[in-house]
Structure 1
Amino acid sequence: MAIKESEAFVLMTYPLAEADKIAVLFTHHYGKIRAVARGARRPKSRFGACLEPLSEILASLFEKEGRELAVLRRCELLCSPFERAATPEGEVFLHHVAELVDAFQPPAEPHPAVYRLIRATRDTFLQGASLPALAAYFEMWMLKLGGFFASLEACAACGRAFRPEEPVWIARDGTPRCERCGGTLGGHVISAGYRPLLAEMLKRPPSEWVALPTPEEALHLHRLLTRLLRDVLERELRTKLSLGV
């Protein structure tokens, strides 16, 4: 038996019996944990707004050896994105972020870089950033941190450095290819004009990068990265239509 405390982002919740919920949390210190929030479905629940998607909380968890689910003993709300999430677009965006974190992160494996990415994305979201641009930024970095999106500097097959004016083919495994090595294999094409934007994405925080692309460029990158995510995850994303894909 163990009691654990950690900052955590709420990814999603599911109903359990008549009064409880299962909360999927991505904790800073312990990774992804599924926990029972007893009484969370009652009108006067002690959890209040703590269990909304992408709320950041300080969670106290009780784990018992051999049990699949922990118990969320109590939590303190640290930051809520509710103000902007009150719009349909904002709500869908938060669910999109939560879905990707849940899909990429295995249980009980902490990943501080992903936690920092979620926090920076949340903060930029609250500043009123363009949602397609912010979605593209988050998608790119989730692929990068998951090991699926390599550098765009050279072909992964032949090793030749890409020229500034040539497009890059991204294979279904996320590796970059030149036209000769990847042009006949399908995948996704990044035109030469978009490569500088992606390069800047890997150098800048989201609060800076979202100001660089035009709305059309941001939407194009978001659509491209969503298609790549679909290949990597081998399934459709639940939030794709609402974000313009």
Structure 2
Amino acid sequence: MTVYRDEAVVLRTHSLGEADRIVTLLTREHGQVRAVAKGVRRTSSRFGSRVEPFTYVDVQLYRGRSLDTVTQVETIHPYGERLVADYPRWTAGQAMLETAGRLTEEGQPSVQQFLLLVGGLRTLAGGERDASLVLDAYLLRALAVAGWAPSCTDCARCGAPGPHRAFAVAAGGAVCPECRPPGSASPAPATFVLLAALLAGEWGVAEAADERARRESTGLVAAYLQWHVERGVRSLRLVERA
């Protein structure tokens, strides 16, 4: 097929020439797709605002040799409209888009990653939950879908039942005293509870966590993500935490 249609989230865009843009999409059925959106930078463009980051779209594309071409696009939900007015949520959203881009590949479908990103952006834009908790929950679950779920209770090395008092990023999470490598973190017990709650989607437990647990979990999630994702996630440096 030379023409195909799919649902997608716009991850990022780059200017091309005087009026075009290269758009990177995370699609439901086709993985990442890089496509040219012709003429979208002109004021007369039919769908310029529909191919901006954070936008959830129904898109039709023409398959090309190196880059596909956007031929039709309809907005399903413009999440960016709400996020752009709230800097903490906007920066958290940027980190989510970049992470999704790092954990997926062109031509390799990942429906779970797609649905997780859509759900995360929906929750973030809704404004009902703390942006930092939403971001950390998304990052943990995205890593789990990619095969790197951290252990929050049992020892990540030997499987000894927990809870344990140390967390080793390189080892895969919680570690027992016998397996604990030098340089392991020693978070509070409540931090392990919060990490497990974020991973499982137990929002009542997560939102009841105290400031120390939230601060420590944020640091551990960021370190764990950077360890597993090549080149790191630069957007995390811009995230504004409460």
TM-score if structure 2 supplies the norm length?
Answer: 0.88
**Match of 1:40?**
40
User: 2:213 pairs with 194, 217, 234, which one?
Assistant: 217
Deviations 1:130-171 (A, max 9, x none): 111111111111111111224334223223112x3x313233
**Match of 1:6?**
6
Structure 2 distance, partners of 1:167, 1:58, is 47
- Kindly indicate whether the alpha-carbon contact (under 8 Å) linking 1:148 and 1:173 is maintained by their aligned counterparts in 2: no
Where does the alignment leave 5 or more consecutive residues of structure 1 unmatched?
none
Question: Which AA in structure 1 matches 2:192?
Answer: R
Structure 1 distance, partners of 2:72, 2:187, is 47
Structure 1 distance, partners of 2:194, 2:153, is 14
**Match of 1:113?**
112
Question: Which AA in structure 2 matches 1:33?
Answer: V
Count of aligned positions: 239
Identity, in percent, stands at 24
Tell me: CA distance 1:77–1:173, structure 2 relative to 1, closer, same or farther (3 Å): farther
- Kindly indicate whether the alpha-carbon contact (under 8 Å) linking 1:173 and 1:232 is maintained by their aligned counterparts in 2: no
Structure 1 distance, partners of 2:171, 2:146, is 11
**Match of 1:23?**
23
- Kindly indicate whether the alpha-carbon contact (under 8 Å) linking 2:136 and 2:198 is maintained by their aligned counterparts in 1: no
Question: Which AA in structure 2 matches 1:3?
Answer: V
**Match of 1:151?**
151
Deviations 1:94-153 (A, max 9, x none): 211110000111111111211221122112112212111111111111111111224334
Alignment of 1:161-200 (within 5 A): 161-162=161-162, 164=163, 166-172=164-170, 174-184=172-182, 186-200=183-197
Tell me: CA distance 1:228–1:3, structure 2 relative to 1, closer, same or farther (3 Å): same
**Post-superposition offset of 1:78:** 0.5
Structure 2 distance, partners of 1:175, 1:221, is 12
- Kindly indicate whether the alpha-carbon contact (under 8 Å) linking 1:85 and 1:94 is maintained by their aligned counterparts in 2: no
Structure 1 position 201 matched with structure 2 position 160: no
- Kindly indicate whether the alpha-carbon contact (under 8 Å) linking 2:36 and 2:70 is maintained by their aligned counterparts in 1: yes
**Match of 1:61?**
61
Alignment of 1:117-136 (within 5 A): 117-128=116-127, 129-136=129-136
What SS class does the counterpart of residue 240 from structure 1 fall into? helix
TM-score if structure 1 supplies the norm length?
Answer: 0.87
Structure 1 position 226 matched with structure 2 position 212: no
- Kindly indicate whether the alpha-carbon contact (under 8 Å) linking 2:188 and 2:213 is maintained by their aligned counterparts in 1: no
What SS class does the counterpart of residue 147 from structure 1 fall into? coil
